[in-house]
Amino acid sequence: MRSFNMPKLTTTDICVQLEKPNQPEVIALIAELDAYQDTLYPAEARYALDLTTLEQENVLFVVARDKDGTAIGCGAVVLGCNEAGELKRMFVRPANRVRGVASRLLAKLECESMKRGCCLIQLETGPYQAEALAFYTKHDFQICGAFGNYLAHPLSVFMQKGLSNTIPETL
């Protein structure tokens, strides 16, 4: 049996930058994320942001693109009051996972959040997303209680991470 290994993306192969979410490629990424989550959780246990909300001034939205300029991942932070932000819409296409794309998205979002005075990133995810939970734990997020308007729910896992005051110079 012949196996094919996909080449590992390098730092120079990935461009992560702030972009507007209302782009056909990005809308397709978000649709893929929604379709995936539809297989895991009922609608009442999903707290996804729509495109209109993602375009608001208090939302930082980043896109990861490969060397050909194709959108392969995205994520957002909704900046709130009390110097906190909520991580939303983190997604990397399955073919591009385990290559550092999600780490780059998260690093860019953290950096941009800190530039705007954000000291705490919070998130809500689900218990059936073991890979996401492992990723966030690896990146120093810790389980916490429900925050904001969320209520404790068996299909919700709440996590948070304090941001240091040191902004990385390169991403």
Residue 63 lies in a domain: yes
Q: What is the pLDDT of residue 9?
A: 45
CA 66 vs CA 13, 26, 45, 62, 128: distances in Å:
6, 13, 32, 13, 28
**Total number of domains constituting the chain:** 1
User: Residue 1 falls within a domain, yes or no?
Assistant: no
Is 90 a domain residue?
Answer: yes
pLDDT at 4: 42
How many whole angstroms separate alpha carbon 33 and alpha carbon 26? 11
Please report whether residue 66 resides in a domain: yes
pLDDT tens digit string along 72-118?
Answer: 999 999 999 788 999 999 999 998 888 899 999 999 999 999 999 99
Q: pLDDT value at position 152?
A: 92
Tell me, yes or no, whether 4 lies in a domain.
Answer: no
Summarised one tens digit per residue, pLDDT across range 27-36 is: 999 999 999 9
Q: State residue 12's pLDDT score.
A: 57
Alpha-carbon separation of residue 109 from 3, 39, 114, 145 (angstroms): 35, 27, 9, 22
Q: Is residue 32 part of a domain?
A: yes
| Domain with 58 in it | 11-162
- Domain-embedded: residue 157: yes
**55 within a domain of the structure (yes/no):** yes
Percent of the chain with pLDDT over 90: 69
Share of residues in the chain with pLDDT > 70 (%): 89
pLDDT value at residue 167: 56
CATH code for position 19: 3.40.630.30
Q: What is the pTM of this model?
A: 0.87
